[in-house]
Structure 1
Amino acid sequence: MARSSLLSPVASFTLSHKPLLQSTFLFSRENPSLPTLNNLPNKLFRNPSTNFRRFVVVKSKSDDSADAPDRLISALCYFYPFFDGIQYGKYVITQFYPVQAIVQPLVPAIRVFKSFPFNGFLVFLTLYFVVVRNPNFSRFVRFNTMQAIVLDVLLIFPDLLERSFNPRDGLGLDLVMSLDSTVFLYLLVCLIYGSSSCLLGQAPRLPIVAEAAERQVL
């Protein structure tokens, strides 16, 4: 009698007609809100490599990674504020030959940019409404384009100061020369640093303008 009582649970367990898997909550029909293996689409199991590739593509689009066209477009955008503020380098370019050697290959493009008075404004409208406000471009391109635009907008302040305070000689002229040279060197550093970083696939953060650009890029 003791032996039969010990074996009775085993016998009742082995004679059960219910499958073991149906007793778990993954296959329970009483909990339809819970995820079940039966509810999963068969496509997930037919071609797992295709699903993995789709996941990688979606993830890469959501990141700030940039391909070769995005890097090139972003690098070219930093030429816009440099061309627009090239007049501030009239003292530095004539006095320092290394700077003149850097600017010399860009002279034809600068002449084309300066050939029409409204070219700067037209480029501004194109970059802002066609690139920055266009969600088809990656965030990498829109952020760097917005940095170049903000950098160009800041050129209004030294221009207004120079127009309102235009000394001919003396200490005033020295201050204007120092201001113009500082603005030009800042534009040159932003051009070299911004363009080279974009070509390497890295997002540069320019001082003064980076935070303002981030607020404009959604």
Structure 2
Amino acid sequence: MSLNPTPATDRLISVAAYSLPFFNSLQYGRYLFIQYPQLGTLFEPILPFLSLYKSVPYASFVAFFALYLGVVRNPSFSHYVRFNSMQAVTLDVLLVVPLLLTRILNPGRAGLGFKVMVWGHTGVFVFSCLCFVYGVVSSILGRTPYLPFVADAAGRQV
């Protein structure tokens, strides 16, 4: 049995790819951060990276297309990198759905609709954080992470 370890550059690119949906999902955690301010201390180490990311106009848009066109559709990258990048892109696209639902349904600032929105945003944030941690740890170990709801769609695109 021969081991074919994943190169360090492939691991690094895969880890970086998962930062796109993670940074874009932080907006969904605002209600959780208001309720539990001490939770914010876990995210303090990434604040300089987040500030840099948010300071560049259209950074999310540019990063999305750079990842999709520059990595996923580039056959010079390994399947491992392209699959992880496609999972990150798919997860990032899915993060738009709760935002659209919130804008369409307009739950207001109180009542049951607001509570459902807060629960939904918190659920999306927790799910995204778990996907980020799972994706990063798997990528560091050189294993291919299979994210729920995302891996099948990513596999079809690569």
TM-score normalised per structure 1: 0.67
Counterpart amino acid of 1:182? G
Number of the residue aligned with 1:71: 11
Separation in structure 2 between the aligned mates of residue 97 and residue 125 of structure 1, nearest angstrom: 34
Number of the residue aligned with 1:42: none
Q: Aligned match of 1:203 in 134, 144, 150?
A: 144
- Say which is worse superposed, 145-154 or 94-103, in terms of deviation: 94-103
- Unaligned 5+ segments in structure 2 are none
Q: Aligned match of 1:184 in 120, 125, 135?
A: 125
**1:101 and 2:35 aligned:** no
Measured after TM superposition, the shift of residue 68 of structure 1 is 0.9
The structure with higher relative contact order (CA 8 Å, sep 6+) is 2
Number of the residue aligned with 1:172: 113
Secondary structure, counterpart of 1:85 in structure 2: helix
- Unaligned 5+ segments in structure 1 are 1-55
8 Å Cα contact 1:94/1:100 also seen in 2:
no
Separation in structure 1 between the aligned mates of residue 91 and residue 55 of structure 2, nearest angstrom: 21
Number of the residue aligned with 1:118: 58
Question: Structure 1 or 2: larger helix share?
Answer: 2
8 Å Cα contact 1:77/1:148 also seen in 2:
yes
**1:153 and 2:54 aligned:** no
8 Å Cα contact 1:89/1:180 also seen in 2:
yes
8 Å Cα contact 1:66/1:201 also seen in 2:
yes
Q: For the pair shown, which has the larger CA radius of gyration, 1 or 2?
A: 1
Count of matched residue positions in the alignment of Structure 1 and Structure 2 = 156
Number of the residue aligned with 2:68: 128
Separation in structure 2 between the aligned mates of residue 141 and residue 163 of structure 1, nearest angstrom: 34
What does 1:80-91 correspond to in 2, within 5 Å? 80-91=20-31
**1:193 and 2:134 aligned:** yes
Separation in structure 2 between the aligned mates of residue 195 and residue 123 of structure 1, nearest angstrom: 18
Q: Alpha-carbon deviations, 1:38-82, whole Å to 9, x = none?
A: xxxxxxxxxxxxxxxxxx8xx95xxxx511111111011111001
